[in-house]
Amino acid sequence: MDQWKNFTKGFIKENPVFVLLLGMCPTLGVTSSAINGLGMGLATTFVLVMANIVVSLIKSQIPDKVRIPSFIVIIAAFVTVVELMMEAYLPALFKSLGIFIPLIVVNCIVLGRAEAFASKNSLGKAAVDGLGMGLGFSFALVLLGGVRELLGSGKLFDFPIYSENYVSLLFVLAPGAFIVLGYLVAIINQVKKN
């Protein structure tokens, strides 16, 4: 039962984007649409879960002096898998996300969870924690991308919702990411208070 607390805390209580304010580079860089947010979120979730599993399995074998570099190598291996799979099977998404895919290696959410949680807990807890944090990150990216896409192009997941006559291009540009993120963080903080 304790494992499921780790799963749900990534959505609101300790959401990596809205509460911990981690992973801002991909959050602001790729969320011009809900599809981009979903793609980056699921890619990061896969890396988080797999890295947490491997770190949890080999934590006793890694000397303290090379702990962080070892975690980075493990994370980089899974990022490479994601990058190659995405390039082969989702080329449009791969092109859209661009440099942000390899940057998952240095995403502080992934390394932070490996260091703070997976290296100190059992395999099951580490896997569930990675899944919860990853899905919470995905939720944040889809929400941010969806709001930006809706306000900036009148579409959601590339389906027209309302006329382009009523859109504001500001929201699909970089300043729109900051504006929407600010409002979403404020709303999440208000929800957490109540």
pLDDT in tens, 81-139: 999 999 999 999 999 998 899 989 888 889 999 998 898 989 999 999 999 999 999 99
Alpha helices in the chain (DSSP H): 2-8, 24-30, 34-58, 67-89, 91-97, 108-116, 123-153, 174-193
Q: What is the DSSP letter of 159?
A: E
User: What percentage of residues in the chain have a pLDDT greater than 70?
Assistant: 95
Can you give the pLDDT at residue 3? 61
Cβ(146)–Cβ(30) below 8 Å = no
What number is the average pLDDT over the span 155-165? 91
DSSP 8-state class, residue 7: H
pLDDT at 34: 94
